[in-house]
Amino acid sequence: MRFKTAIVAVLTAAGILLATAQSACGAEKLISVGTGAITGVYYPLGGAICRLVNAGRRDHDHRCMVESTGGSVYNINAVMSGELDLGFAQSDAQYTALRGMGPFKNKPQSRLRALFSVYPELFTVVARQDANIKSIADLKGKRVNIGNPGSATRATTELVLNAYGIKPQELKLAAEIKSAELASALCENRIDAFAVIVGHPNANIQEATNACASNIAAVAGPAIDQMIKDHPFFGKESTPGRMYKGTDQARATFGVFATVVASEDLPEQTVYVTTKAVFDNFEELKLLHPALANITKESMLVGNTVPFHTGAMRYFKERGLMK
């Protein structure tokens, strides 16, 4: 009888330990990160952030996973609905979301919050040389890829065309080709030009300019100057010369910042853990992509157009990056 009682006691204790272990595992918080197309910078950058978070999962009980998505506008909507925890978004998408403008018309996202910015992204138009596209005005009557629905590239391209008084129906073709297919579409003469908002160098642009005679068009002039004046999240920039075949001189354009956002409702500790993983491993992060080569910890706090999340502010204040 005592033997049976001992066995029951041992099994009960084992059951308690197992239940405790299962409970501990169940308490691990999953962080989902929305990025962009697999061929872009957001996706591998999201993967890098997740690797940094996951490296310390035993210490903070958070596990991170990355998802390929439609881009900035999609990510903000998904973050605010709770479908995603974090998302990459351009600073202009932050701005319009907070104020209920553009793709978020009449739906202001007042609880949208920033973790940090990452690197500048430039509005870039790549065109076939035989299409004779030197500026935005030359896009009228041409076959142009204007970006995927739900992407910040689409929203910004429409803004640029509107600044020049070009309506979508005045394009010979307003294409919606996926990022991974842009180079082949250009070089197979299915489109005359495509617009993207990217950090440089960019793989899609390299593929296109190496595969067929193409070049980067200038995005400048009074119409662009006025657009930048009307939209404070834009800033004048230039794409580097000699970075891509066919474009020897720098090309004037404008840019925004790539940022990481969350809902105010996301727990402070989750945001703190993510921010800490990124900034505590800053030098490792910079090695991920040439677009990150010149960023600094301080530069990652500029360019955001929504308030910071309390979890991010907690880390920045601890490290003296914010008062």
Task: Write down the pLDDT at residue 17.
Answer: 39
Task: Write down the pLDDT at residue 13.
Answer: 41
* 228-266 confidence digits (pLDDT tens): 999 888 888 889 899 999 999 999 999 999 999 999 999
DSSP character at residue 244: B
**Average pLDDT for 5-9:** 41
Given a contact cutoff of 8 angstroms between Cβ atoms, the answer to whether 85 and 262 are in contact is: yes
Average pLDDT along the chain: 90
222 burial type by CB count under 10 A (0-12 exposed, 13-18 middle, 19+ buried): exposed
**Average pLDDT for 133-147:** 96
Task: Write down the pLDDT at residue 232.
Answer: 80
DSSP symbols for 16-41: HHHHHHHHHHHTPEEEEEE---TTSS
Task: Write down the pLDDT at residue 9.
Answer: 42
Provide the pLDDT confidence category of residue 195 given band limits of 50, 70 and 90. very high
The domain defined by 121-256 carries CATH number 3.40.190.10: yes
- Domain range summary for the chain, segments of one domain joined by +: 28-119+258-318, 121-256
Provide the pLDDT confidence category of residue 199 given band limits of 50, 70 and 90. confident
Given a contact cutoff of 8 angstroms between Cβ atoms, the answer to whether 100 and 272 are in contact is: no
Q: What share of the chain is helix, strand, coil (3-state, %, to 5)?
A: 45, 20, 35
In this chain, the answer to whether the domains covering 28-119+258-318 and 121-256 adopt an identical fold is yes
Task: In whole angstroms, give the CA distance from residue 25 to residue 63.
Answer: 11
The domain defined by 28-119+258-318 carries CATH number 3.40.30.10: no
* 257-300 confidence digits (pLDDT tens): 999 999 999 999 999 999 999 999 999 999 887 888 888 999 99
**Average pLDDT for 200-224:** 94
